[in-house]
Amino acid sequence: MRSASGARRSLGAAARDALGSGGSLLAGLLLPRLTLRQRLALRSVRARVTRTRPGWSPPVYDLRLAPIPEPSKRALFSYLAAPFLASRSDSHARDANSWRALEIVRALNEMGYLVDVADCTDVSFVPERTYHLFVGHGGHNFDSIASRLGAEAIKIYYFSGCRWDVHNQRELARLEDLRVRRGVTLPPDRLVTASEADALSIADAFLGVGNEATRRTYSGFDHVHLIPSVVWPDDRGVASSKDFLSGRRHFLFFSGPGNVHKGLDLLLDAFDGLREEHLWICTRIDRPFAAVYGDLLTGRSNIHLLEWVKPRSPLHYDVLRRSNWIILPSCAEGIATSVVESMNHGLIPVVSEACGIDAAESGIQLSTCSVEEIASTVRELSSLGEARCREMSQAASRAASDGHSPHVGARRIREALEAIVAGRKPAPAPDARAGVASIVGPA
């Protein structure tokens, strides 16, 4: 086997050759095909070079991101402190989680609150001021902070996904399904390890990312207010240059960590039985997962492993242009931002209900996420005509731009916080429709 440095030279040479010859970047990265072991070795080298010191950021006090009419009230926000450090603010401007943190503080300022921010993993933080409102996240320090606040303080639990125990139950069920299907046991890859039970029981209201499917996981709790995931406009116009007839057989899997959690095992087993349909994989591969699925990841002509791809990079645009579909059979999300980003570029979502995407008008919702259902759906979608694919692509793009723009996200955050403070009931999630898109359409 080649060394990691040899693998790195091969990958770099292939990319340079492709760019120098005018070919696509995808073609350059796939020739030659590195073995999975070489890819993992290369990633290990990169990790040693780029690894930073772990830890949480210090608290930030007296934040004013918007004019405060009468700063007679004070709020505490325990989530991400790093975006508020002046030296790092620019690097967080278009990270969805950091953007929401900034917008929550901005909305509170506009409502008359001066805001202090702590990191949600800082278990040593002790509030030393009087707060009228507290927004906190996760199970690390919510209850310890909330228990030190006055009874009059409004306590809001901020979530970025479905309820923590539902999240864990669903992931464990996926791992058990894999054990039964393949006879192998893999370790959990995205379990929530800090219990949020006490935090949920203390909270007066809930604010988080999701749709009505997400809200149902919080059944038994009142005042669950929903906000959308956000993506930014892009003028690259990938959809306008897409060959929809060719792209109908190309499916993109673009996700964050958690191979089994996100359903990559199901996709690999489904595409193993297909020949004309192609799966493009943009995610990091965990070593235990690679030990089970290495052959499918690198040994099939219709399965293409790109590993992690930087959003809106040349390689990302190339694979977006090649594919009609974004496919994600995840078991637990709030709203899958990678799917919304892909819809923003005209890709059509093929998703589980857990992805938090209302696919009634703009895509396909998988009902069971079984290997058989995925394979059958992929075959059927690959036979659609060019006109129908173009129509669905346009609907997906509109859904992303109309419901997930920064303007809409900021407005929904402000409306939700105002409703919580006023004691109003939550509004229904916009465009939450029953049913799923019909595959049947003009050929």
**Interval 368-427: pLDDT, tens:** 999 999 999 999 999 999 999 999 999 999 999 999 999 999 999 999 999 999 999 998
Which of 18-27, 62-71, 427-436 is the least confident region? 18-27
Which pLDDT does position 57 carry in this prediction? 85
Q: What is the pLDDT of residues 341-374, one digit of tens each?
A: 999 999 999 999 999 998 777 899 999 999 999 9
DSSP label at residue 159: E
- Given a cut of 60, whether residue 19 has pLDDT beyond it is no
Structure-token match 């604010």, residue found: 207
C-alpha–C-alpha distance, residues 171 and 190, integer Å = 8
Q: What is the pLDDT of residues 54-100, one digit of tens each?
A: 456 899 999 999 999 776 899 999 999 999 986 554 555 578 999 99
Cβ pair 258, 191 in contact under 8 A:
no
Strand 278-282, strand 325-328: pairing: unpaired
Give the three-state DSSP class for 25.
Answer: helix
- Given a cut of 70, whether residue 6 has pLDDT beyond it is no
Bridge partners, 76 (sequence order): 116, 134
Which pLDDT does position 199 carry in this prediction? 97
Which pLDDT does position 433 carry in this prediction? 38
C-alpha–C-alpha distance, residues 18 and 365, integer Å = 37
Which of 293, 371, 17, 291 is closest to 281 using CA atoms? 293
**HSE value, Cβ hemisphere, 13 Å, CA-based, for 176:** 6
C-alpha–C-alpha distance, residues 221 and 290, integer Å = 40
Count the neighbouring beta carbons within 10 Å of the beta carbon of residue 14: 19
Mean pLDDT across 15-29: 40
Which of 33, 42, 38 is closest to 298 using CA atoms? 33
pTM of the model: 0.86
Which pLDDT does position 88 carry in this prediction? 52
Give the three-state DSSP class for 207.
Answer: strand
Give the three-state DSSP class for 291.
Answer: helix
Domain 165-189+234-404+435-443 grouped into CATH 3.40.50.720:
no
Q: What is the pLDDT of residues 234-284, one digit of tens each?
A: 988 777 789 999 999 999 999 999 999 999 999 999 999 999 999 999 999
Q: What is the pLDDT of residues 282-310, one digit of tens each?
A: 999 999 999 999 999 999 999 999 999 99
4-21 and 36-50 helices cross at what angle (nearest 10)?
Answer: 100
C-alpha–C-alpha distance, residues 327 and 23, integer Å = 26
- Tell me which amino acid residue 363 is: G
Q: What is the pLDDT of residues 129-185, one digit of tens each?
A: 999 999 999 999 999 999 999 999 999 999 999 999 999 999 999 999 999 999 999
Average pLDDT, the chain: 86
Give the three-state DSSP class for 36.
Answer: helix
Give the three-state DSSP class for 68.
Answer: coil
- Cis before residue 71, ω within 30 degrees of 0? no
Q: List the 224-227 sheet strands across, edge first.
A: 60-63, 113-119, 73-79, 133-137, 154-159, 205-209, 224-227
Question: Rg of the chain over CA atoms, in angstroms?
Answer: 23
